[in-house]
Structure 1
Amino acid sequence: MASGRVLKLLRPSVFTLLGSLRSDCVFRRGAAAAAGSRLFSSDAPPDKISRYPVPYKKDLPYDIVELMEEVETKGGFLPNVFKALSHRPAEFRAFFAYYNELMNKETGGLTKADRELIVVATSIHNKCLYCVVSHSALHRIYSKKPTLADQVAVNYENAELSGRERAMLDFALAVCRSDTITEQHFLSLEEVGFDREDAWDIGAIAAFFAMSNRMAHVTDMRPNTEFYNMGRMPRDKDKGEGKDKGKGKE
């Protein structure tokens, strides 16, 4: 069954991303479970999610329900993009298949923090609240830099970027703005260590999120409140590990 194959494709990479969310989430798992039946209903989340109805769980295909339930369990909450896009299940599957291929692969010269920073910079150009807030959170988690995404969201040209990061965002914004891409754009990337395949990845992320940003505008998608504080302060676990290291423990 095609939907089953898509679910298998999505699970590892979606959970890699959501595992980071879980480590920063302050909600108890029991509270998330208690709210589980409400998360998929169209009648009453307390926070606004989308101007389109969010389907009832019973009306969604099984593979999508299973994925969403596992994401919520592992992450501690369900990002609103899952709820909003479930309005059209076939497009939901296509969106997350391509998202995972771009954002969670382990090949190429881009780190996960690099990929998230591209999303922040291009999404602010496209005025997308959802993507700026949610991907800033992911960048903070992956990069361990609590302020850089905020700087990029205001003005990446004035942010504390490395030369490599600046060249990457210059290229991403050129794609985002639909500038004419010339050989000089590729040469600028090569000067800081990116190859042609990395350039494809940078361009593809900028292009994919141009679509995602516009769908967020169409649906009036709103970021989960959990995203705003993620990655801004050291986790207790990190503090505990520091104490253990001071005592000579592994």
Structure 2
Amino acid sequence: MFNTDVCRYHYINLNDLPEDIQAIITEVQEKTGFIPNVFLTLARRPDEFRAFFDYYQAIMNREANLSLAEKEMIVVATSSANGCQYCVVAHGAVLRIITKQPILSDQISINHNHSAITQRQKSILDFSMKLCRTPEQINEEDYNHLYKQGLDDEDIWDISSVCAFFGLSNRMAIISAMQPNPEFYTMGR
């Protein structure tokens, strides 16, 4: 049933989706107790759904020098800059759960410069915000600042991948008027 309170586009019945997508959604539902609206929104185009979630898994679950918490910080900060309520709320919940810090994601979504984070994390978010807002201004000084924090070119690629992917995700959430599931608001609090 189409519900404009949740999304601009109608959802496809779970049973009408390809089996592989049904399996992914059912697994998430069993793990979380609900189906995040992003799954139902993107499932309307199965090939794009697969590509989206494959790339999400590739960048977010990749063994790297960046922690999952640092990646989620990038998501929250840049999604806030892009005005994406869905991603700020949903990934803010994930960040709260990972860090066990119930207010950190709220701080980062408002202004990471006033958050209780390390200098390394501040540097990661400074770079991410510059890439998000003014990518044409990235220069060698930005890289050198990250190098001073012990980050290397592979880490910078990871930071950039998360930032770029969620630029896409933010825009799709915004144009679809995707709303965060109510469950996200209280998770990890």
TM over 0.5: yes
Q: Aligned pair 1:152/2:108, yes or no? A: yes
Deviation larger for 89-98 or 179-188: 179-188
**Structure 1: gaps (5+ residues):** 1-41, 233-250
Retained in 1: the 8 A contact 2:2–2:9?
no
Which of 170, 183, 187 is 1:213 aligned to? 170
Relative contact order higher in (CA < 8 Å, ≥ 6 apart): 2
- Aligned residue pairs: how many? 188
* 1:180 to partner: Cα distance: 2.2
* 1:148 to partner: Cα distance: 1.3
Q: Aligned pair 1:57/2:14, yes or no? A: yes
Question: Separation in 2 of the partners of 1:160 and 1:213?
Answer: 25
1:223 matched to which residue of 2? Answer: 180
Task: Give 1 or 2 for the bigger CA radius of gyration.
Answer: 1
Retained in 2: the 8 A contact 1:49–1:84?
no
* 1:122 to partner: Cα distance: 0.1
Q: Aligned pair 1:181/2:135, yes or no? A: no
1:239 matched to which residue of 2? Answer: none
* Aligned residues: CA RMSD: 1.4
Which of 23, 34, 44 is 1:77 aligned to? 34
Question: Separation in 2 of the partners of 1:151 and 1:198?
Answer: 24
TM-score normalised per structure 2 = 0.95
**Structure 2: gaps (5+ residues):** none
TM-score normalised per structure 1 = 0.72
Retained in 2: the 8 A contact 1:51–1:219?
yes
Question: Separation in 1 of the partners of 2:86 and 2:142?
Answer: 29
Retained in 1: the 8 A contact 2:97–2:188?
yes
Question: Separation in 2 of the partners of 1:162 and 1:57?
Answer: 42
Question: Separation in 1 of the partners of 2:154 and 2:42?
Answer: 30
* 1:126 to partner: Cα distance: 0.2
